Structure 1
Amino acid sequence: MRPPLPLRRAALSLALLAVLFQAMPAAAEELAITVGLRTSVQSQVLGEERPLLVSLPGSYASSPTTRYPVLYVLDGESHFLHVSSMVEFLSRRGRLPEMIVVAVPNTKDRDRDLTPPFSKTERADNGQLLIDVAPTAGGADTFLRFFNEELIPTVDARYRTRPFRVLMGHSFGGLFAMHTLVNRPESFNAYVAISPSIHWNSAELVRKAPEAFSRLTAPGRILYLDEDATETPNINRLRTLTQAMKKRKLPSLTWHYDEVADEDHGTLPHIGAYAGLKFVFSGWKPAEKVRFSNDLAPLEAHYAALSRRLGYPMPPPEDMLTNVGYWHLREKQLPQALAVFERTVALYPDSANAHDSLGDALEAAGRLQEALTHCERAVALGREHQDAHVPDYQKHADAVRARLAAQPAP
């Protein structure tokens, strides 16, 4: 009996690393490790071509009917690698769904794109008029138009997305996220604002945000805020803001604020991204008693509740069901295993691994002809989707076929 696909992939990766390290002293083929792709979108709003860095989920090719939430990351040139790796790690551990990560690098003018409009009398920290220090700043509303009118529609057209979007930004990026939530909250479902520069324009957001948040309507929005515990005076402004939020009823905003010790402005994005994503998808991983119940009802109910909270339909993930099904198989609970794998095929009919796993359960139940049907379907789907595990699926199908041939004639 073979382990579920995530474990098979992990074993393959470890074996590959072992081979690579053993071969280090001698000349060896060097293979690139791909973590994403670089693309672009032509923007009429901004009058320029904007580069994009995109990371697709590991199951994207092998599960061609599955759709995914999208995480948009500002300052993409700085945060694409660590955030996309974090998403992959946390999703593999069942703490959040697999997601498409779209990182938006800066081009000509970061100040222009990420900062909201400001008063002509506003002064910088050195006392100079801000209009003299940063003459092109204040274009956040135009940049937000780029997101809503061009970038988001382009991503939705190119990739299989779900109607759930997260915006993540740090410093000026966090300021842009807060500005968006206050002024165009429908743009994203969740916001992760890491050390947001809310001093901008005489801390205008500290005054405006609580009232704006009280006017939010369903579906609710999610906000995660954090700051380095030594970052004064910004931390005092955030305390003023969050204290005002606590005093108001905010029925359509789920929010949390952290003050993080032993970090600084430069290292906070990694910690903030990790904590922020876990908060946005808090409760994603079902409790063990829910995952390994004798029937699927508690697991289905868990994801139904999550779907209601997040505002988009989310069935139990394929990897979750696969792991549960194989657990039942190991425990010799064949009826439960069959029920789980049949549900997996019903939810993910174009997944080669789902059919191969159902083939395992049917084979264990002695239903060899049905097992062969699903094993052959796995091979066909795997070839269609260029799945690296086609040899495994073929080996399984051949083994079931041999068992069928060895049966005595009726």
Structure 2
Amino acid sequence: MNTATQMFVLCLLLLSTSFCLAEPPSRADSASNAGCLPGTEQVKLNSQEGLEYRILIAKPEQPAPEAGYRLLVLLDGHSTFPAAVTLYRMQQRASQLAPTIIVGVGYPSESRIDMPRRTFDLTPTAELEKLPPRRGGSGWPKHGGADQFISFLKDGLKPWLQERYSLDPTQEAIFGHSFGGLFVMHCLANAPESFDYYIAASPSLWWNDYAIGNPQQWIDNQWLGKHTRLLITVGGQELGEDAGPASLLAPTPAKETFGNTRQFAERIQHLQTDGVPVQYKEFPGENHGSVTPLAINEALRFALQRNKTSSPEQ
């Protein structure tokens, strides 16, 4: 982590130390102040399958614009929400970012990262023989729940938010890092109508032998003409051959063809030739962990800039 990044992360930590995992009310329709970051609240919300989520919400001080607030949904909410809210408020006061409801999707866990739950929610189905061995020799937890999680976001979380807040349906964004980035890509490929802006930070594209990198999927998929936007970010140190779980995978034709995140983004940019923009941002010197706050900040600029018009296609 370079010096500038160290200072940046330190400032975030100092500004968000008041954030904690306060016990929310038992009913999703009776939100309370989270008692952590001022102006935030935390509620419980259950999926149709009975899975419990902790929903973290930050509402701007300004009244909703005529078209409604923008919406930013953050995966791994207990980890990403404090940084996103802090960065948003620092820049929003200078009128750089539009009034936005920021929502973190987390879990009823004392840990900021609930690995079993996130592994299930954020991954598509996979064949075990196409996954790398895990550190420590432990097996992979239950996985393959991405489609179920998409349904929760589309049919559970978003309608619930729309009942409580005035939201602009053309200005909805989702951010995910690592497995969250993989989920963002999977959601875009399979349910592109879910959001308008997709931000995949350091996505775990190696999952299931790089199945997400199938070029035909990105030629034929439904998001063409939907006026969505995609941003892919990655740390420079993540691009090496010995970086991350991908380095533990046996050589396969898919692995050889795929390359790294930069090369994948370039292929997607080449395929999307009919006006659907794909942006790529690389942060030199950063690794899988240190790049996260930088990716969050880039996501705010990408999806929430005030100079964006009411529709992402304009």
Q: How would you bin the TM-score normalised by the shorter chain?
A: 0.7 to 0.9
Q: Does 1:191 align with 2:198?
A: yes
- The CA distance in 2 between the partners of 1:56 and 1:228, in whole Å, is 30
1:92 maps to which residue? 93
Question: Which of the numbers 307, 312, 315 marks the counterpart of 2:310?
Answer: 307
Query: Residues 58, 137 of structure 1: CA spacing in aligned structure 2 closer, same or farther, 3 A cutoff?
Result: same
Aligned length: 255
More helix by share: 1
- The CA distance in 2 between the partners of 1:80 and 1:186, in whole Å, is 24
Query: Residues 261, 35 of structure 1: CA spacing in aligned structure 2 closer, same or farther, 3 A cutoff?
Result: farther
1:260 maps to which residue? 283
Amino acid at match of 2:97: L
Question: Which of the numbers 53, 57, 68 marks the counterpart of 1:54?
Answer: 57
Q: Does 1:226 align with 2:226?
A: no
1:271 maps to which residue? 294
Query: Residues 134, 162 of structure 1: CA spacing in aligned structure 2 closer, same or farther, 3 A cutoff?
Result: same
Matched-pair identity in %: 27
Residues 145-184 of structure 1 mapped to structure 2, 5 A cutoff? 145-163=151-169, 164-184=171-191
What is the SS of the residue equivalent to 1:307?
Answer: coil
Amino acid at match of 1:39: V
How far has the Cα of 1:216 moved from its partner? 2.6
How far has the Cα of 1:212 moved from its partner? 4.4
- The CA distance in 1 between the partners of 2:293 and 2:65, in whole Å, is 31
Higher relative contact order (CA 8 A, sep 6+): 2
2:273 maps to which residue? 250
Which structure is larger by alpha-carbon Rg, 1 or 2? 1
Runs of 4+ in 1 over 3 A off after TM superposition: 63-66, 125-129, 233-236, 308-311
2:124 maps to which residue? 116
Amino acid at match of 1:247: H
- The CA distance in 2 between the partners of 1:236 and 1:151, in whole Å, is 35
TM-score if structure 1 supplies the norm length?
0.57
1:73 maps to which residue? 74
State the Cα RMSD in Å: 2.8
Query: Residues 267, 128 of structure 1: CA spacing in aligned structure 2 closer, same or farther, 3 A cutoff?
Result: closer
Query: Residues 278, 70 of structure 1: CA spacing in aligned structure 2 closer, same or farther, 3 A cutoff?
Result: same
Query: Residues 33, 266 of structure 1: CA spacing in aligned structure 2 closer, same or farther, 3 A cutoff?
Result: closer
What is the SS of the residue equivalent to 2:292?
Answer: helix
What is the SS of the residue equivalent to 1:109?
Answer: helix
TM-score if structure 2 supplies the norm length?
0.73
What is the SS of the residue equivalent to 2:148?
Answer: helix
Kept in 1: contact 2:73–2:173 (CA 8 A): yes
Query: Residues 123, 219 of structure 1: CA spacing in aligned structure 2 closer, same or farther, 3 A cutoff?
Result: closer
Kept in 1: contact 2:182–2:203 (CA 8 A): yes
How far has the Cα of 1:43 moved from its partner? 1.8
How far has the Cα of 1:138 moved from its partner? 1.1
What is the SS of the residue equivalent to 1:272?
Answer: helix
Kept in 1: contact 2:85–2:102 (CA 8 A): yes
Kept in 2: contact 1:206–1:238 (CA 8 A): no
What is the SS of the residue equivalent to 2:198?
Answer: strand
Question: Which of the numbers 28, 44, 48 marks the counterpart of 1:40?
Answer: 44
